[in-house]
């Protein structure tokens, strides 16, 4: 089989190590690089730093990425888009214009004989109650209808403000906190008590993590981000690996803590 690629947290619309437009060009070059080898591409949220999709209006910009995704989709590459906390107000634009299905909740999918649990990762695990409350409000259809009544110029400025506040509340460069304090690891450990999963794949955390879970087999993969790490994951039909695009050095967190159970 060809490779299956996973990426998240491009956060186009805000600057990181590079400005947003430069980063968008790098992402398009990455897509050009992986396309001949790709069986499928999963985008696991926060592709955009802010997004609100009016009935007849979408945020300006991002045309290089949108055009390349549309071309890949037209050429037959399956692409799957998961909303994140910064682009949760993505509705049907990707499906109708690009032919890319959009998912709002995590899902389990079998790929190459392995079971994957896929999602952005926001709102999972213990803690973060304030954000979980805000997410319920933002996901409420009545709140979305009311927001859509705001003129797009004002509405998109508000989205830009909300996205910056959210990012500032959770600094991007926070290091690996250990399994007891990483909420997504706690979520994965609990989920394994209910269902068998080979790979939990999330974004949201902004840190490339590859952590072997307590059963000695299942792994939690966090995709990192493209603000600073330029990281993604690839499944070759046998194994998953985190890789870095055009980076001299890239650190994967959590792997040094692997302890295989006898």
CATH of the domain at 199: 3.60.21.10
Q: What is the pLDDT of residue 257?
A: 54
Q: What is the pLDDT of residue 163?
A: 63
56 membership: H or E segment, kind and range: none
Q: Is residue 229 part of a domain?
A: yes
Q: Is residue 211 part of a domain?
A: yes
- Domain with 142, as residue range(s), is 3-257
The number of distinct structural domains making up the chain is: 1
Q: Is residue 242 part of a domain?
A: yes
Q: Is residue 67 part of a domain?
A: yes
103 membership: H or E segment, kind and range: strand 102-103
Q: What is the pLDDT of residue 175?
A: 82
Low-confidence ranges of the chain (pLDDT < 70): 125, 127-135, 137-138, 144, 147-148, 155-156, 159-174, 248-249, 256-262
Q: What is the pLDDT of residue 162?
A: 63
d(CA 252, CA 244): 10
Cα–Cα distances in Å, from 201 out to 66, 120, 213, 232? 23, 8, 13, 11
Q: What is the pLDDT of residue 117?
A: 98
Q: What is the pLDDT of residue 170?
A: 53
Q: Is residue 262 part of a domain?
A: no
Q: What is the pLDDT of residue 260?
A: 42
Q: What is the pLDDT of residue 116?
A: 98
Write down the pTM of the prediction. Answer: 0.88
> Under a CB-based contact definition with an 8 Å cutoff, are residues 81 and 102 in contact?
yes
- Alpha-carbon Rg of the chain, whole angstroms? 18
């Amino acid at each position: 089989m060809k490779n299956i690629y996973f990426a998240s947290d491009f956060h186009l619309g805000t600057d990181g190590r590079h400005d947003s437009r430069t980063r968008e060009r790098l992402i398009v070059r990455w897509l050009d690089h992986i396309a001949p080898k790709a069986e499928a591409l999963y985008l696991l949220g926060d592709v955009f730093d802010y997004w609100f999709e009016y009935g007849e209006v979408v945020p300006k910009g991002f045309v290089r990425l949108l055009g390349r995704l549309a071309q890949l989709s037209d050429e037959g590459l399956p692409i799957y888009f998961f909303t994140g906390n910064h682009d949760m107000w993505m509705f049907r634009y990707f499906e109708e214009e690009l032919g890319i299905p959009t998912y709002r909740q995590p899902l389990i999918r079998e790929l190459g004989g392995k079971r994957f649990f896929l999602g952005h990762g926001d709102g999972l695990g213990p803690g973060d109650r304030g954000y979980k409350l805000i997410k319920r409000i933002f996901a409420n259809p009545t709140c979305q209808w009311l927001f859509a009544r705001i003129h797009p110029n004002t509405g998109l400025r508000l989205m830009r403000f909300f996205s910056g506040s959210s990012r500032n509340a959770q600094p991007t460069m926070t290091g690996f906190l250990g399994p007891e304090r990483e909420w997504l690891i706690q979520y994965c450990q609990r989920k394994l008590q209910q269902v068998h999963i080979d790979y939990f794949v999330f974004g949201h955390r902004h840190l490339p993590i590859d952590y072997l879970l307590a059963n000695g087999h299942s792994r939690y993969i966090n995709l990192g981000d493209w603000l600073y790490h330029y990281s993604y994951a690839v499944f070759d039909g046998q194994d998953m690996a985190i890789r870095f695009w055009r980076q001299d050095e890239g650190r994967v967190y959590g792997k040094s803590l692997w302890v295989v159970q006898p």
